[in-house]
């Protein structure tokens, strides 16, 4: 088949919601997409989103407004999100929902046939559109179907089971292609493009056990970071308050449980203590995730009130009608029964907070361009929209919205003539050969360390020092330990030297990227001397954690003067260490105010 | 001494290599599942004979039974490995790749035929475009509930593996893709192309290849009532066949 | 669009249930007359002889031979598409699915023998009319009896299970409950027909 040479070629790495929507947009604008993914795009991590997608539909008679959604998002994000970007997103939200509805997303409906809405954390109005408790899955599938339609038309070329390794820049320093490796045949190849969009999702695996899929390792983000892309706000890692702890992974129990009336409690003095409702009377169980996580952590770790002394609290749905629950939350209740062996409709679930989402990511401007020309980032792998803490059900929104921005912008850039010269065969081969050399070196590794054990250690380290409560001692220690891990990486020995689906060799390469990303997270956290959103830092006094007269830990306050800036992390190729600086962002629309969920929001 | 769980794993080094068995022991812990066990083997890939071997290759993503990646044959039955709790399995636990599909390596299989089948049944809604044009049509909430049930299909391939009529000996596209056609026929916009999809199902390898063994429904990890929708589709294609004859 | 596969499959289903089902019923009905003794069966067989020859042959060819050949040959093609797996998936319906195919294989061989010997050789070539006495003599060999009983049972099961799958294939029974009801009824029918078979086969040893 003769290829249309005039068609603009866009490489999109990652087939989650953001990547797929960008793909659709590019196709509609006449471009040709090369879609790379670790897995069949239909198995991307977007499908783990459960609770829903926020959009001001205002169909519940609550006089909800787009402004309210805007304010909730900015306030929930502790005033660290670019407000113009957020405004664009919340304004587009209802339109996106209608589009997804037309695409066949099986949203849950009211008796009248309208889209049903539910409550979600950090918002007082019903604003969350949902499909049972597998909303992400349903949205992803609908987009996957649309992309398949374009694939049949021959304008989408899927490279599933291909791992993105790095970008290729032309002589002007503009990104004009990528190197990727087949995960089955292990073939390494260069691919040219007019624009490259990364939509590779979050770095959950940096923390080992988390709610993320095993494929969410942030390796691609780290790879471009090492090639000069700036990472922004990586220290803001969302800890989801309600997850089923597990040794292989912490399985998410959607915020929708609380949205549908679930209550969190532990026994105190022999009686149930609904501590969230007591601590935050205005929002109760529906406080934002960072607030809920810290409260649960405090109750379990500092007060020792966890179930049977373990780090668990109850998430209770048993007071709600079983049929209603099945209809609204069927998917996740079934999951709980399956993995824990108890029926959440009858007994309270046992949950504990877990690493869940990264607000930070590759720095992008409002059009999703990174600081490397020709390279864009979209979805969880970018830092836009959520500030210091993400509201529940805003992730599907940001994923979808960013795709609708990055796709058309990628086409605009491709047509602008600013993207410099095409890659020559020699440049492409040079890039390929370099990756091949690195890969061959990994295949020869013959040391004493096991990559998976190292990964496990890194996860423990990150959980210990860079999770819910942080302090500068711990962060310093963590950085030292991470550097040691990086050293030990060189001493990895691999047992698999095969040339078919060598998952071990691929993992070794990803692990190095993960360690470097972990360093960026830790360094960002170390340098931010304040508490904001998901980043909560304890005051040190004489080198010890400071406690107040009640014995409670004293956290640093929010410091708008010094830290209402975006953290920017650059990679120092010489020392391999992260370099921290700060950058202004737009906060012109809503004036910062103190964040307090004990009282109803005052604007 | 921790209790051990014995795994017998059918391995294969390359697509055309000969399969062989290897045995591994994994420390038992409560709630242990098959994926977690394979992860332990990754950390210490040593067989029961003390031989250090390449870690077992398999596919998994979400570990929550929504992505469909980790389907394999466990003790003879196709299922998701992530939610196959060791407690519920007969020991020693035997793991095999789902050989209805081409094996790439060990437990890793190539399921692209399922995605190809989704192309064939035109599993999408013909949208004018992703731009805003009007409100989406209202939907009957009961129909929507049925659609949601079917739409939870995660293309894992359990039903294809269990179906006696799917395999190299036949060209049946399998229960999952067939029933997906019904999903799109239910949507108020997807309905417009229902005759197209039904005609595709009448072709060779379509719904006529269903032999009503009903294994698909029995093994579906999502408990989708596949046989009910297959029967409904049978009804629909029959009517479509009459229309094909008499409307022309 | 002409969907050959579709029409062939549906024809296969129709032909099996309606046409061959009638043949099976006719056989069981006629043969059950043996219960009344030699007279009963011989009278019934004589009644059949009353049908004018051309019509009878026409019926045999059009109503039995052609449908049987089509159902058999296309059935072999269908059976070849299955890898039976009840040992791993031991659900009732899957056993029935496998049995449907195993009985089919058996019936192919059995019917070649049955039609070839009794209809073509005995009746056709030697011109001997079929009678109670002839069959009684034929059944002196216990192997023959066993094979005939199994053959009848196979045909009956194949037919009765066919009723269940027919209802699914034609979209008549959609939900699990209606499918269950039909399958119970057809299995009862199966049991009844098998019993009748046993009784009339036994009558050759009573009289």
Report all structural domains of chain A as residue ranges with CATH numbers, in order of start: 9-207+227-238+356-421 (3.50.50.60), 240-355 (3.90.700.10), 426-583 (1.20.58.100)
Contact (Cβ atoms closer than 8 angstroms) between residue A467 and residue A355: yes
Nearest residue to A175 via CA among A361, A377, A25: A377
Model confidence band, residue C21 (pLDDT cutoffs 50, 70, 90): very high
According to DSSP, the residues that pair with A162 across neighbouring strands are A182
Q: Does A47 sit within 8 Å of B144, measured CB to CB?
A: no
**In this complex, does chain C touch chain B, defined as having at least 3 beta-carbon pairs under 8 Å apart?**
yes
State pLDDT tens for residues B46-99.
999 999 999 999 999 999 999 999 999 999 999 999 999 999 999 999 999 999
pLDDT at position A602: 57
Model confidence band, residue A1 (pLDDT cutoffs 50, 70, 90): very low
Has residue C50 got a pLDDT over 60? yes
State pLDDT tens for residues B183-210.
999 999 999 999 999 999 999 999 999 9
Nearest residue to A453 via CA among A416, A532, A531, A507: A507
Q: How far is the C-alpha of A603 from the C-alpha of A71, rounded, in Å? A: 8
CATH of the domain at C74: 1.20.1300.10
Buried b (16+ CB within 10 A) or exposed e, A395-414: bbbbbbbbbbbbbbbbbebb
Nearest CB to C94; choose among B210, B214, B244? B214
CA end-to-end distance (rounded Å), chain C: 60
Q: Å from A18 to nearest chain B CA?
A: 14
- How many domains does chain C fold into? 1
Nearest CB to A335; choose among B14, B64, B130? B64
Assigned token pair, B95: 């793991």
Has residue B16 got a pLDDT over 50? yes
Q: What average pLDDT does the structure give for chain A?
A: 95
Q: How far is the C-alpha of B208 from the C-alpha of C104, rounded, in Å? A: 19
Q: Report the percentage of chain A scoring pLDDT > 90.
A: 95
Contact (Cβ atoms closer than 8 angstroms) between residue A399 and residue A18: yes
Assigned token pair, A101: 């509805």
Buried b (16+ CB within 10 A) or exposed e, A317-327: bbebeeeebeb
Q: Does B184 sit within 8 Å of A103, measured CB to CB?
A: no
Q: Does A102 sit within 8 Å of B125, measured CB to CB?
A: yes
Q: Does B190 sit within 8 Å of A110, measured CB to CB?
A: no
Has residue A249 got a pLDDT over 60? yes
Has residue A115 got a pLDDT over 90? yes
Q: Kindly list the residues from chain B whose CB atom is less than 8 angstroms away from the CB atom of residue C4.
A: 204
Q: Kindly list the residues from chain C whose CB atom is less than 8 angstroms away from the CB atom of residue B169.
A: 80-83
Q: How far is the C-alpha of B173 from the C-alpha of C144, rounded, in Å? A: 43
Active site residue A289: yes
How many beta-carbon pairs below 8 A join chains B and C?
111
Mean pLDDT across A191-205: 97
Q: Which chain C residues have any C-beta within 8 angstroms of a chain B C-beta?
A: 1, 3-7, 9-10, 78, 80-85, 87-89, 91, 93-94, 96-98, 100, 164-165, 168-176, 179
Has residue C116 got a pLDDT over 90? yes
Has residue A166 got a pLDDT over 70? yes
pLDDT at position A2: 46
E strand or H helix at A189: strand A188-192
Has residue B1 got a pLDDT over 70? no
Alpha carbon A405 to its chain centroid, in Å, reads: 18
Task: Tell me the Ramachandran region of residue A451: left when phi exceeds 0, alpha when psi lies from -120 to 50, beta otherwise.
Answer: alpha
DSSP string, A425-437: HHHHHHHHHHHHH
Distances (CA, A) of C111 to A519, C25, C28, C115: 78, 16, 15, 6
- Phi and psi dihedrals of A577, rounded to 5? -100, 155
Question: Which residue did the predictor score with more confidence, B232 or A6?
Answer: B232
State pLDDT tens for residues B210-231.
999 999 999 999 999 999 999 9
Has residue C206 got a pLDDT over 50? yes
Nearest residue to A382 via CA among A399, A398, A363, A401: A363
State pLDDT tens for residues B20-57.
999 999 999 988 999 999 999 999 999 999 999 999 99
Q: Does B218 sit within 8 Å of C91, measured CB to CB?
A: yes
Has residue A3 got a pLDDT over 60? no
Beta pairing, strands A313-316 & A271-273 = unpaired
Give ipTM to 2 decimals. 0.97
pLDDT at position C2: 76
Contact (Cβ atoms closer than 8 angstroms) between residue A250 and residue A259: no
The domain made up of B112-246 is a member of CATH 1.10.1060.10: yes
Q: Kindly list the residues from chain B whose CB atom is less than 8 angstroms away from the CB atom of residue A40.
A: 111-112, 115, 155
Q: Å from C194 to nearest chain B CA?
A: 23
Annotated active-site residue in A118, A289, A294, A528: A289
pLDDT at position A469: 95
Q: Kindly list the residues from chain C whose CB atom is less than 8 angstroms away from the CB atom of residue B76.
A: 87-88
The residue ranges of every structural domain in chain B are: 4-109, 112-246
Signed CA dihedral, A143, A144, A148, A150: sign only: positive
Q: Kindly list the residues from chain C whose CB atom is less than 8 angstroms away from the CB atom of residue B231.
A: 168, 171, 173-175, 179
Model confidence band, residue C1 (pLDDT cutoffs 50, 70, 90): low
Q: Using omega within 30 degrees of 0 as the cis cutoff, is the peptide bond preceding B13 cis? A: no
Other residues' Cβ atoms within 10 Å of the Cβ of residue A549:
5
Contact (Cβ atoms closer than 8 angstroms) between residue C162 and residue B229: no
Question: DSSP label at C34?
Answer: G
Give me the CATH topology for the region B4-109.
Ubiquitin-like (UB roll) (3.10.20)
Q: Does B204 sit within 8 Å of C94, measured CB to CB?
A: no
- B194 Cβ under 8 Å from any chain A Cβ: no
State pLDDT tens for residues A349-401.
999 999 999 999 999 999 999 999 999 999 999 999 999 999 999 999 999 99
Has residue A156 got a pLDDT over 80? yes
User: pTM of the predicted model, to two decimals?
Assistant: 0.96
- Nearest-by-CA chain B residue for A111: B141
Q: Å from C119 to nearest chain B CA?
A: 32
Structural domain span for residue C137: 4-206
**In this complex, does chain A touch chain C, defined as having at least 3 beta-carbon pairs under 8 Å apart?**
no
Q: Helix (H, G, I), strand (E, B), or coil: what is residue B109?
A: strand
pLDDT at position B181: 97
DSSP string, A84-149: HHHHHHHHHHHHHHHHHHHHT----B-TTSSBPEE--TT-SS--EE-STT-HHHHHHHHHHHHHHH
Q: Kindly list the residues from chain B whose CB atom is less than 8 angstroms away from the CB atom of residue A111.
A: 141
Q: Helix (H, G, I), strand (E, B), or coil: what is residue A566?
A: strand
Mean pLDDT across A532-555: 95
């Amino acid at each position: 088949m003769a290829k249309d040479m005039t068609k603009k070629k866009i490489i999109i790495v990652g087939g989650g919601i953001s990547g797929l929507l960008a793909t659709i947009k590019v196709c509609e604008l006449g471009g040709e997409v090369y879609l790379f993914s670790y897995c069949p795009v239909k198995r991307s991590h977007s499908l783990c989103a459960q609770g829903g997608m926020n959009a001001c539909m205002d169909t519940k008679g609550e006089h909800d407004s787009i402004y309210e959604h805007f304010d909730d998002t900015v306030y929930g994000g502790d005033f660290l999100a670019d407000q113009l970007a957020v405004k664009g997103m919340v304004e587009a939200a209802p339109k996106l929902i209608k589009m997804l509805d037309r695409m066949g997303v099986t949203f849950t409906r009211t008796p009248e046939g309208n889209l049903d809405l539910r409550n979600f954390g950090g918002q007082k109005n019903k604003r969350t559109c949902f499909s049972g408790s597998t909303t992400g899955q349903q949205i992803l599938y609908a987009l996957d179907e649309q992309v398949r339609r374009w694939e049949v038309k021959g304008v989408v070329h899927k490279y599933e089971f291909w791992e993105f390794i790095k970008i290729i820049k032309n002589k002007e320093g503009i990104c004009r292609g990528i190197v990727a490796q087949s995960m089955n045949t292990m073939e390494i190849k260069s691919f040219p493009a007019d624009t490259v969009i990364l939509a590779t999702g979050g770095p959950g695996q940096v923390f080992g056990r988390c709610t993320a899929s095993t494929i969410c390792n942030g390796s691609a983000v780290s790879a471009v970071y090492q090639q000069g892309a700036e990472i922004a706000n990586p220290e803001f890692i969302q800890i989801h308050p309600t997850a089923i702890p597990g040794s292989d992974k912490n399985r998410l129990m959607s915020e929708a449980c609380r949205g549908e009336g679930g209550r969190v409690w532990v026994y105190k003095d022999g009686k149930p203590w609904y501590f969230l409702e007591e601590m935050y009377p205005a929002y109760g169980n529906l406080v934002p995730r960072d607030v809920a996580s810290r409260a649960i952590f405090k109750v379990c770790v500092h007060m020792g009130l966890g179930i049977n002394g373990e780090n668990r609290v109850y998430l209770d749905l048993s007071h709600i009608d079983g049929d209603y629950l099945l209809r609204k939350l069927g998917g996740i209740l079934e999951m709980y029964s399956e993995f824990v062996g108890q029926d959440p409709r009858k007994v309270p679930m046992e949950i504990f907070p877990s690493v869940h989402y990264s607000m930070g990511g590759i720095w992008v401007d409002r059009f999703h361009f990174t600081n490397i020309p020709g390279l864009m980032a979209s979805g969880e792998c970018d830092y836009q929209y959520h500030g210091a803490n993400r509201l529940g059900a805003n992730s599907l929104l940001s994923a979808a919205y960013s795709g609708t921005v990055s796709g058309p912008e990628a086409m605009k850039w491709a047509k602008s003539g600013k993207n410099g010269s095409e890659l020559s065969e020699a440049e492409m081969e040079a890039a390929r050969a370099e990756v091949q050399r690195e890969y061959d070196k990994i295949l020869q590794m013959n040391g004493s360390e096991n990559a998976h054990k190292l990964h496990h250690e890194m996860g423990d380290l990150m959980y210990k020092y860079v999770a819910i409560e942080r302090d500068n001692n711990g962060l310093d220690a963590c950085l030292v330990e991470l550097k040691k891990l990086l050293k030990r990486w060189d001493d990895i020995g691999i047992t698999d030297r095969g040339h078919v689906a060598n998952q071990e060799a691929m993992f070794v390469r990803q692990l190095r990227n993960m360690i470097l990303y972990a360093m960026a997270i830790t360094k960002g956290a170390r340098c931010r001397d304040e508490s904001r959103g998901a980043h909560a830092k304890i005051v040190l006094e004489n080198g010890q954690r400071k406690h107040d007269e009640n014995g409670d830990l004293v956290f640093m306050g929010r410091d708008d003067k010094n830290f209402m800036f975006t953290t920017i992390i650059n990679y120092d190729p010489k020392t391999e260490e992260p370099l921290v600086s700060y950058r202004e962002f737009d906060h012109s629309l809503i004036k910062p105010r103190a964040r307090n969920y004990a009282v109803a929001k005052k604007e | 001494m921790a209790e051990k769980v014995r795994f017998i794993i059918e391995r294969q080094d390359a697509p055309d290599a000969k399969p062989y068995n290897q045995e591994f022991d994994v420390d038992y812990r409560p709630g242990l599942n098959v994926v977690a066990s394979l992860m332990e083997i990754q950390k210490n890939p040593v067989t029961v004979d003390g031989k250090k071997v390449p870690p077992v290759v398999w596919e998994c993503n979400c570990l929550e039974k929504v992505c469909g990646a980790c389907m394999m044959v466990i003790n003879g039955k196709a299922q998701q490995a992530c939610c196959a709790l060791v407690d519920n399995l007969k020991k020693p636990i035997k793991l095999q790749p789902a050989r209805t599909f081409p094996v790439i390596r060990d437990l890793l299989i190539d399921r692209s035929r399922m995605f190809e089948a989704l192309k064939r049944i035109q599993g999408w809604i013909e949208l004018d475009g992703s731009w805003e044009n009007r409100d989406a049509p209202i939907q009957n909430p009961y129909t929507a509930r049925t659609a949601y049930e079917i739409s939870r299909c995660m293309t894992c391939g359990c039903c294809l593996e269990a179906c006696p009529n799917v395999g190299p000996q036949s060209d049946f596209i399998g229960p999952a893709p067939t029933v997906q056609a019904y999903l799109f026929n239910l949507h108020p916009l997807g309905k417009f192309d229902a005759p197209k999809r039904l005609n595709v199902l009448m072709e060779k390898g379509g719904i006529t290849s269903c032999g009503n063994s009903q294994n698909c429904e029995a093994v579906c990890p999502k408990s989708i009532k596949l046989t009910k929708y297959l029967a409904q589709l049978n009804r629909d294609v029959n009517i479509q066949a009459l229309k094909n004859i008499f409307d022309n | 669009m002409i969907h050959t596969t579709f029409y062939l499959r549906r024809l296969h289903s129709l032909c099996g249930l309606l046409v061959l089902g009638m043949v099976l019923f006719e056989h069981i009905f006629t043969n059950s007359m043996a219960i009344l003794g030699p007279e009963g069966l011989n009278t019934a067989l004589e009644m059949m002889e009353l049908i004018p020859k051309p019509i009878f042959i026409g019926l045999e060819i059009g109503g039995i031979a052609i449908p049987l050949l089509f159902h058999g040959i296309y059935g072999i093609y269908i059976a070849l598409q299955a890898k039976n797996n009840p040992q791993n998936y031991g659900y009732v319906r899957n056993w029935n699915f496998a049995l449907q195919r195993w009985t089919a294989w058996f019936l192919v061989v059995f019917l070649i023998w049955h039609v070839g010997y009794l209809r073509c050789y005995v009746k056709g070539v030697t011109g001997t009319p079929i009678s109670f006495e002839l069959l009684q003599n034929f059944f002196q060999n216990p192997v023959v009896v066993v094979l005939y009983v199994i053959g009848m049972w196979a045909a009956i099961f194949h037919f009765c299970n066919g009723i269940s799958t027919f209802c699914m294939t034609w979209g008549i029974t959609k939900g699990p409950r209606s499918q269950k009801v039909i399958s119970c009824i057809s299995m009862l029918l199966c049991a009844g027909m098998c019993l009748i078979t046993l009784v009339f086969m036994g009558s050759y040893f009573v009289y």
